Structure 1
Amino acid sequence: MVKVIATDMDGTFLDHRGLYDRERFETVLKELDHQDIRFVVASGNNMGRLSLMFEGFLDRIAFVADNGCHVIDRGEELVRRTMDRQLVADFLAYYQDKQSDYCISITTANGLYLLENAHFPFNHFAIEAEQMALFLSRIKRLTSFSELPDEPILKLGMMLPEEQCDDIITGFNTHFSGNLTATTSGYGSVDVIETGLHKAWGLQHLLDKWGVSAEDLMAFGDGGNDIEMLQLAHHSYAMDNAPDAVKEAAHFLAPNHRDHGVLSVIEREVLTKI
């Protein structure tokens, strides 16, 4: 029996334009609310973007943001993890000659920091104009990461050429000696997270709070940063557009994100069987 539904955003819940059908979602969420089935947004994105995307629904759904490090249940913050500064220093030292080439980014509550000569390929992302404006407003350029303000660090990232992404991630995860893991959400976008802190870790906090077993969890994903969540969920769906490694981690296949596969599966497999 499904009691919790968790979904990734980009390439999963969102279509190729970075949008979702709000009217259709409202209809689905109303029925989920009626049946006391929880809906969780599980994303590598921060709450700034997610709050904008789900304006009007914030008091009805839960969030596992920043790849599990920020957990909010209907407005109540449960978990807020920040990164150890020494781990960040070790990461920057590891890539000291590639910080611009790999478009390394450091995210704090106050902004997203990039080096002045790092090129961020904004055209890789299907983001609605208002969301893009918010994203651009948060970018701060530095001549060196030694100028980084003394603020709690929430996330590390890289933007890599897609054809090199898998090799660079594999090399980092094989050779980096610290407690960090690189994972991808697709399109060359890489998140570097503390080992063991992922979407499944954050989601488990919600399951424990609600007294729900993973046997009653349905999850959807399309990227490498969704694998642990898909492995946790008994009812796990990889999107048709997901790479093979993600499909192998799931039990079922959902229609392409362009075809609103998440909502289609929920309507077919949950709502029609209640």
Structure 2
Amino acid sequence: MDGTLLNEQSQMTEATKEACRLLRESGCKLVISTGRTYKSACLPIDGFPFDGYVCSNGATVHDANGATVQETSLPADMIQQALHTLRQIPLYYELHDTESNRWMVQEDRERIELLIQDDTSIEGLSLRRFAFYEWARVTPFAELMERIKTGETRVVKLFFWHPIPDELLSVRQKLEQWSGEAEITSSGRHNIEVIPKGVSKWEGLAYFCKKWGLSPEQVMMFGDAENDREALSQAGFPVVMDNAAPAVKELARFIAPHHDEDGVAQFIRQHILAGG
């Protein structure tokens, strides 16, 4: 979604909605594939009727009406160990659960707010608007750890963010000790996302391929980031956005225009609906 379907204001424009509507009318199935939680994914599409949703990088999969059809959570002991280690570093972090809740530790909230209060990027503004004031469930550290230990809260993703990308290098290095239990990926230069081992956007999309009797060769995947790598590698028609990093562009069969120029809509109209 971010950096692909949505523009710089995190909006699905009317031009993109119309192109997607025409694509659905032609008989294609449209699936959102995102690092966002389901609730967060629904915000910018403003009710557009997608046929399915692969969320939290594939850790949760939802059908057209939002019902969860597949979910995978991180090991409770791994989460506890990782947070005990990483919450000592001055960075923003959240825990996302199977119910689309975004959890924050009460003792760390003030420090986190200071970290992002001066950030004026779209991502920084979104963090303040959605995580702090509308989405986050804030709870004491000990209480959150107990919820995770008992299984009352099942976490599907750890999200780490810092305004200076280089500051995340040491975070990624520390996370490598749990690489046998989790996948470490990213949806942008400023974040690191930790998801269950074996989970990816492609694994989520595979659910819909099986449901609809489609082969990988019949799938077109739009993407721009590291967390799109598996899906772009497996899809028969990998389309990478012009704003993507060079390493991701190496996976492309086609390049779509920049995401802030309605790149997905332009590609759909010029290369699919036009019979290209």
State the match for 2:162 in structure 1: 160
Matched, 1:51 2:45: no
Give the secondary-structure state (helix, strand or coil) at the position aligned to 2:47.
coil
Name the CA shift for 1:133/1:77 in 2 (closer, same or farther; >3 Å).
Answer: closer
The answer to whether the Cα contact below 8 Å between 1:160 and 1:190 also exists between their aligned partners in 2 is no
Is the partner of 1:242 in helix, strand or coil?
A: coil
Q: CA deviation at 1:166?
A: 6.4
Structure 1: distance between partners of 2:76 and 2:240: 34
Q: TM-score, structure 2 length as denominator?
A: 0.83
Q: How much does 1:271 deviate?
A: 0.6
Inter-CA distance 203–244: structure 2 relative to 1 (3 Å threshold): same
Structure-2 separation of matches of 1:127 and 1:266:
30
Amino acid at match of 1:106: L
Residue 150 of structure 2 aligns with which residue?
none
Q: 1:146 aligns with which of 121, 142, 149?
A: 142
AA at the equivalent of 2:9? R
Q: Which of 203, 224, 227 is the equivalent residue of 2:226?
A: 224
Aligned with 2:59 (options 58, 69, 79): 69
Label 1:134 to 1:159 Cα distance change in 2 as closer, same or farther (>3 A): closer
Q: Cα–Cα, structure 1 residues 19 and 46, in superposed 2: closer, same or farther, change >3 Å?
A: same
1:239 aligns to what?
241
* Deviations, residues 166-205 of structure 1 (Å, cap 9, x unaligned): 6346524644354112211114122111121011111111
Divergent runs of 4+, >3 A: 126-129, 131-135, 140-143, 172-178
Superposed CA deviations along residues 205-230 of structure 1, whole A, max 9, x for unmatched, are: 11111111111111111111111111
In the alignment of these two chains, the number of paired residues is: 260
Aligned to 1:38, the other structure's residue is in SS state coil
> Residue 102 in 1 paired to residue 91 in 2?
yes
- Which whole-Å CA distance do the structure 2 matches of 1:111 and 1:51 have between them? 15
After superposition, give the CA deviation of every residue in 1:65-89 in whole Å (9 maximum; x if it has no partner).
1111121221143212222212212
Q: Distance in 1 between matches of 2:48 and 2:94?
A: 29
Q: What are the superposed Cα offsets for residues 81-106 of structure 1, whole Å, 9 maximum, x if unpaired? A: 222212212322443532xx132321
CA distance in 1, matches of 2:213, 2:220: 15
**Identity %, equivalent residues:** 26
Q: Which amino acid is 2:267 matched to? A: V
Q: Please, which runs of 5 or more residues in structure 2 have no aligned partner?
A: 148-152
Match of 1:50, SS state, is helix
The more displaced of 175-184 and 66-75 is 175-184
Which residue number corresponds to residue 257 of structure 2?
A: 255
Query: 1:12, 1:239 within 8 Å by CA — same for their partners in 2?
Result: yes
Counterparts of 2:171 and 2:255, CA distance in 1:
25
Q: Which amino acid aligns with 1:201?
A: E
- Matching residue's letter, 2:46: E
Local SS of the residue matching 1:212: coil
Q: Match of 2:11?
A: 19
- 1:105/1:157 contact within 8 Å kept: yes
Could you say if the C-alpha distance between residues 52 and 170 of structure 1 is closer, same or farther in structure 2, counting changes exceeding 3 Å? closer
